[in-house]
Amino acid sequence: MLTERHLQIFVALADEQHFGDAARVIGITQPPLSQGLRRLEALVGAKLFERGPGRVQLTPAGAALLPYARRALGSLEEFHHAAGAQDPEGPELRLGLTPEVPPALGAAVAAALPSGRVTVVTAPTSQLLPQLTSTRLHLAVVLHPAVLDGLEAGPITLLPTEALVPTTLHPDDGVPLKLRDLDALPIAVRPRAEAPAARDLVLDTLDLHRPTGGTVVVTDERAALAMAAAGQAIVVTPDPSLHAAGLGRHPIVDDPLPVRLRLVWPAARTPSALLPDALQRITRALTESSS
């Protein structure tokens, strides 16, 4: 049976011309995307893409069917919006949060939405932006800077950060430190692919203020905290609740590494119920968190 997911795979591959990029747009991994494409081609009885080294290209059959797939997806989106309007609880609202958003702030952002049915997705900025473009998400809080083609954005919010440092290096908790004082261990950073522009800004800032010491790439905040607790890294975080035994929390002089966040949405497709009140409430929550 032909499903909405089959159509999403078809359109994403046609737009991105790359299996990995199309999978990120849809929010799935590459194996199920490839399986979905094979199933779709079997259902329509035609080959839709020519596979090449790292890229794909529409076949004549794929080019002929693509307009129908786009129209079908548009009709399904209209159906979902119409169905949501009939729900007494209001339409479902899908919110994306980058992992750098502290839990308390993420809860405040979700609470600012007007619907009782809020779905929250946590994913790197590089995955949230395509999901906004494809309307799988209505709103997202992402890292800045980022490429926002076709998206609207609110003001930039700067969350102050502090350094979690093993007490074996700096036993006096709470003492302000300069970045150049933190060169005995590498600073834990997330993979560049999660938010290339934002990560490059962090690395450039570290090179400017802390030319020695280096960085270590970690998969998530839990891994960063574990490395710091083991005396192998320093964590820079905007989350005041993040802590572990054996770590001291230190303000960083002049706060050169704030986490830059921005509320982003596809304005033309965001439910009208969200605007402008909810956007104002979310912006207020972000602003208050930075003060």
Cβ atoms 131, 25 nearer than 8 A: yes
Q: Band of the pLDDT at 167, cuts 50, 70, 90?
A: very high
Residue with tokens 């991105």: 16
pLDDT in tens, 16-26: 898 888 877 77
Q: How far apart are CA 251 and CA 167, in angstroms?
A: 14
pLDDT of residue 93 exceeding 70, the answer is: yes
Q: How far apart are CA 161 and CA 240, in angstroms?
A: 9
The amino acid present at 35, given as its one-letter code, is Q
> Is residue 278 within a helix (H) or strand (E), and if so which, with residue range?
helix 277-290
pLDDT of residue 46 exceeding 80, the answer is: yes
pLDDT in tens, 194-209: 999 999 999 999 999 9
> Is residue 56 within a helix (H) or strand (E), and if so which, with residue range?
strand 56-58
Tokens of 32: 């199920």
pLDDT in tens, 225-241: 999 999 999 999 999 99
Residue with tokens 């574990």: 226
Task: Please name the residues in contact with 28: beta carbons below 8 A apart, sequence gap of 6 or more.
Answer: none
Q: Band of the pLDDT at 52, cuts 50, 70, 90?
A: confident
pLDDT in tens, 63-92: 999 999 988 888 877 776 666 565 555 567
